[in-house]
Amino acid sequence: MDSSTDPFESSPLAPSTDEMEQIARHVVETMPPRFREAARAVAIRVLDFATDEMLAQMEMEAFELTGLYDGIPLTEKSTWDMPQGPDVVWLFRRPILDEWAERGDVSIAEMVAHVTVHEFAHHFGWSDDDIAAIDQWWL
């Protein structure tokens, strides 16, 4: 994931929800061309924390969930499916910031990119090898 043109790459400041969404959109724009168009069709939303409903569904605590893919993976979609709503990649700012601070060895842009790619992996039905080709953390 090339984040060299990302303004948050070396910033020591925690981004706002809007700035974190901007980072995630940059990640989509730097995805390999064969995935980029489909990734652009997925909504990206950033909240400080997952909703209580999301946490209950995932059986997780608020600071454990950094991101969530909400939709039907492309590998499971059928032309017969009735759309239930847009596919969404959710990013949860406070847990991402918490992990970023705990790690201390990556930029916030790298942390957001990692979570974003992981959630898009659910959308695309990617294998670990597919993810590793895009996100070097999986190597």
Q: How many helices (H) and strands (E) does the chain have?
A: 6, 3
Residues 135 and 114 sit within 8 Å (Cβ to Cβ) = yes
CA distance 4 to 41: 24
The answer to the question of residue 10 being in a domain is: no
* The total number of structural domains that make up the chain: 1
pLDDT tens track, the chain, 139 positions: 444 444 555 566 789 999 999 999 999 999 989 899 999 999 999 999 999 999 999 999 999 999 999 998 888 887 776 767 789 999 999 999 999 999 989 899 999 999 999 999 999 998 777 777 777 665 4
Q: What range defines the domain where residue 131 resides?
A: 17-74+84-138
The DSSP code sequence of 29-68 is: HTS-HHHHHHHHTSEEEEESS--HHHHHHHT--GGG--EE
The answer to the question of residue 46 being in a domain is: yes
The answer to the question of residue 11 being in a domain is: no
CATH number at residue 98: 3.30.2010.20
CA distance 59 to 81: 27
The answer to the question of residue 12 being in a domain is: no
